[in-house]
Structure 1
């Protein structure tokens, strides 16, 4: 029987709805469970917590969620909806969290943040996703490999939240490093080569702010009104996570302003270069305007033009034109155009 290398669950035991399932042992570890094991699951001892990570796009997902979760129809609709603005609220002893995480999937943009819906009770946590999200697997790996993972439902919710926020920081750091590289390259590169990328960075900052600002408000709501089964340590961790998220929002503002300053600098450089080019063209046009007038006047095809029969007339005209150019250069120098 083949085993899934990501979760260790036997392929024959897998269900389209179940990404993975495990039971927290209350000591920082877990054991994986199959789909059939979770249908009528009851904790063997009070410390056990069932964690199900589900794919809400799978066939039958909505029906199972309606049947299995002790939540109202309105709450179920929130959990399976594609309207995933970050929010947190309680329903009796249950906790509902709609959170967003950075998209690290190949070919996708980090700012296209992925939603994760969470239903949590004292002995059961259900996480739902529409697209692959790295955070739940990182928490599962810590449970399996180190035995130092979350021990309670409150720990699990806080661990997932903390992982989501920490990954946001790595994306912001990468973006800031790229801004620093662009600032270092700005002196030697063509402005047009950098402006498009800087515009993309500004759009990324706006996309992050779009989700992180309501996510901050959602976590603040969780801090104000946590369920009774969350420990004092969980509440302290929420406070620290909020503080970090606040700093990340400030970093986003700084990144946006840095990108704006760099963009303005490049635009000014491009405008200065254009003005310098137009100035050179204007000087050239000013030099050749009187020359063109003289040669045009001498080229009219009417009788009485002087020097028509003289062999020296051409060279006299060249000398006159050279004198005109010399006078122009003197005037331009006096006017500080050159």
Structure 2
């Protein structure tokens, strides 16, 4: 089982072995994902929302005076990704990174656009954490977002654009990128809140003594979730920091304050993650201590039982010897006296152990 897991993890990298740099090779496993493209073209006065049947339909928005957001789901359609790259004049290495889902959160600054990669985390309907890579291309008046599959955290952003809520319809494309990244970071808070609740539930369960046999496995799964969140958040801090200090014309000064707010949120999430990591180790120590205490209780009961029966066994052993002459055996009431002595001895030892608080 361990070998199969390791093989599954390394398949992603084997797909790119020996390939020419800039080769557009999808490294994910959702090969049957259908291509889904949605377009939002808006300004203060109006908003056009379209579901596109082909990527060519979205090319007309590039020359518009409004702000355009093209959201592309389905990284397995590399031919469509190539068409986007040709139309928007994206570097081949950018296209390679878009379809390579094992990318670390990062930012690359080019002459006419900015490339940002981050990890989107959320819980699905089965209460399982989903980690999906999201890539953004920020241009002068457009934002392109690339996702591996359907399902994201941008529903509120879509409603704000449609209903003209907030500043998104009156700001530039860099603010739209901020809104999208902020939606991802806001869901980090949902993730850590859920993780915190799980840790508290485990603490309560361990302290109450009602420990499930699979709790160690659940704790290990929770530990892996925390590490996954940590790997997504810590590099993103560097990304936001670089956006703040970037002198690109794509990032306006009035928008930098908003990105600084995202950075503050990431610091807060990072601190909570570090705290939860320590709490997870404490949970394991608590669990092992609980197991040890239960074992000690069992050993104490067994030891007390052995201590009680040792003298009784000694007495029974003496009078069970096969000597021809044992004076007490000839006495008529020896059997009842022996029982009485053994009962008195048994009760006395129980009283003694009770006073010592060993029972």
Q: After TM superposition, give the deviation of residue 316 of structure 1 in Å.
A: 2.4
Q: Report the 3-state secondary structure (helix = DSSP H, G, I; strand = E; otherwise coil) of the residue aligned with 2:63.
A: coil
**Which of residues 157, 160, 163 in structure 2 aligns to 1:145?**
163
Alignment of 1:254-333 (within 5 A): 254-325=275-346, 328=349
Q: After TM superposition, give the deviation of residue 51 of structure 1 in Å.
A: 1.8
**Which of residues 98, 101, 119 in structure 1 aligns to 2:117?**
98
Q: After TM superposition, give the deviation of residue 113 of structure 1 in Å.
A: 1.7
Q: After TM superposition, give the deviation of residue 181 of structure 1 in Å.
A: 4.3
Q: Report the 3-state secondary structure (helix = DSSP H, G, I; strand = E; otherwise coil) of the residue aligned with 1:60.
A: helix
Match of 1:225 in 2: 246
Q: After TM superposition, give the deviation of residue 304 of structure 1 in Å.
A: 3.0
Match of 1:38 in 2: 58
Do the aligned partners of residues 301 and 337 (structure 1) sit closer, same or farther apart at CA in structure 2, a change above 3 Å counting?
same
Partners of 1:89 and 1:221 within 8 A in 2? no
Q: For residues 140 and 248 of structure 1, what CA distance do their matches in structure 2 show?
A: 25
Q: After TM superposition, give the deviation of residue 164 of structure 1 in Å.
A: 0.4
Q: After TM superposition, give the deviation of residue 301 of structure 1 in Å.
A: 3.8
Residues 279-322 of structure 1: CA deviation (Å, up to 9, x unaligned)? 12101101101211221332234533444454422112223323
Q: After TM superposition, give the deviation of residue 30 of structure 1 in Å.
A: 4.1
Do the aligned partners of residues 126 and 330 (structure 1) sit closer, same or farther apart at CA in structure 2, a change above 3 Å counting?
closer
Match of 1:191 in 2: 211
Do the aligned partners of residues 257 and 165 (structure 1) sit closer, same or farther apart at CA in structure 2, a change above 3 Å counting?
same
Q: For residues 232 and 332 of structure 1, what CA distance do their matches in structure 2 show?
A: 78
Q: CA RMSD in A?
A: 3.0
How many residues are matched? 321
Q: For residues 154 and 28 of structure 1, what CA distance do their matches in structure 2 show?
A: 19
Alignment of 1:54-93 (within 5 A): 54=72, 55-58=74-77, 60-93=79-112
Alignment of 1:11-26 (within 5 A): 16-25=34-43
Q: Report the 3-state secondary structure (helix = DSSP H, G, I; strand = E; otherwise coil) of the residue aligned with 1:191.
A: coil
The answer to which structure, 1 or 2, has the higher relative contact order (CA under 8 A, 6+ apart) is 1
Q: For residues 81 and 64 of structure 2, what CA distance do their matches in structure 1 show?
A: 28
Q: For residues 76 and 156 of structure 2, what CA distance do their matches in structure 1 show?
A: 22
Match of 1:6 in 2: none
Do the aligned partners of residues 56 and 247 (structure 1) sit closer, same or farther apart at CA in structure 2, a change above 3 Å counting?
same
Residues 122-143 of structure 1: CA deviation (Å, up to 9, x unaligned)? 1222111112342334322221
TM-score by length of 2: 0.78
Do the aligned partners of residues 241 and 171 (structure 1) sit closer, same or farther apart at CA in structure 2, a change above 3 Å counting?
same
Match of 1:158 in 2: 178
Residue segments in structure 1 that go unaligned for 5+ positions in a row: 1-15
Q: For residues 101 and 208 of structure 1, what CA distance do their matches in structure 2 show?
A: 10
TM-score by length of 1: 0.82
Do the aligned partners of residues 152 and 30 (structure 1) sit closer, same or farther apart at CA in structure 2, a change above 3 Å counting?
farther
Residues 208-238 of structure 1: CA deviation (Å, up to 9, x unaligned)? 1121111112222222225312211221111
Q: For residues 233 and 178 of structure 1, what CA distance do their matches in structure 2 show?
A: 40
Q: After TM superposition, give the deviation of residue 330 of structure 1 in Å.
A: 7.3
Alignment of 1:112-123 (within 5 A): 112-123=130-141
